[in-house]
Amino acid sequence: MDLKKYWEEKHLRYSKQDWIGKPTLFAQFAFKYFPSQGSVLDLGCGHGQDSRFFAENGYEVVGTEFSEKALEFAVSKSDPKLKISYIIHDLKDDFPLKDSSFDVVYSHLSVQFFDNKITEKIFNEIQRVLKKDGLLVLLVNSLDDPEVKNSKFLYDDLYEAPDGLIKRFYNEKSLEKFTEDKFKTILLDSKGETYKDISTLIRYIGTKK
């Protein structure tokens, strides 16, 4: 599968949805756990709706995104006065960011497309760039998602969707496998929601050990 093409086309479709300009339900929920001020790294920021939400509330934000098309939308929608910078970055690569440089690392449905080795690397990188006691705020797909039934099981928690996309579906225990040595859990449940009527997503909030 040509992942670049896949995500470019997907973000073009997203651009026509009415929810794409609003902060996600998860961002609005998780915001109450944020420190009163500081810096936020938004992994897989898409069209930047959550990045803008955080910046509008006084945070300095760096948004990363695999899709150049998504970042075009994000930049075009962002007020230049806001403290947001965007970078093209593939999450499977080392983060081009300094150690201990963020108060919050945030991810809305962006870290579930990788095998165990790369997923472990991503969590290591998150831990590296977070400041002491920094916050990890994460939303991921769960094994209770309706799309699991239409996907082909591959191995571990990885499935192949009908469109060919490889995606990881977590449960609370399997997510802890990646977090328990690096983060102290504050919240872990499967009550995450989106505007697309999914209400079984796994929410994780924890602090760097």
Q: What is the pLDDT of residues 26-36, one digit of tens each?
A: 999 999 999 99
| Burial tier of 133 (Cβ tally within 10 Å: 0-12, 13-18, 19+) | exposed
Classified as helix, coil or strand, 207 is: strand
Q: What is the pLDDT of residue 1?
A: 82
Amino acid 199: pLDDT: 83
Is it the case that residue 197 has pLDDT exceeding 80?
A: no
> How many Cα neighbours within 13 Å face the side chain of 53?
21
What pLDDT score was predicted for residue 52? 97
Instruction: Note the pLDDT of residue 192.
Output: 95
pLDDT digits (tens, 9 = 90+) for 64-115: 999 999 999 999 999 999 999 999 999 999 999 999 999 999 999 999 999 9
Q: What is the pLDDT of residue 198?
A: 79
Q: pTM (2 decimals)?
A: 0.95
Residue 177 pLDDT level (bands cut at 50, 70, 90): very high
Which residues touch 197 (CB under 8 Å, ≥6 apart)? none
| Domains (range + CATH), the chain | 3-19+37-208 (3.40.50.150)
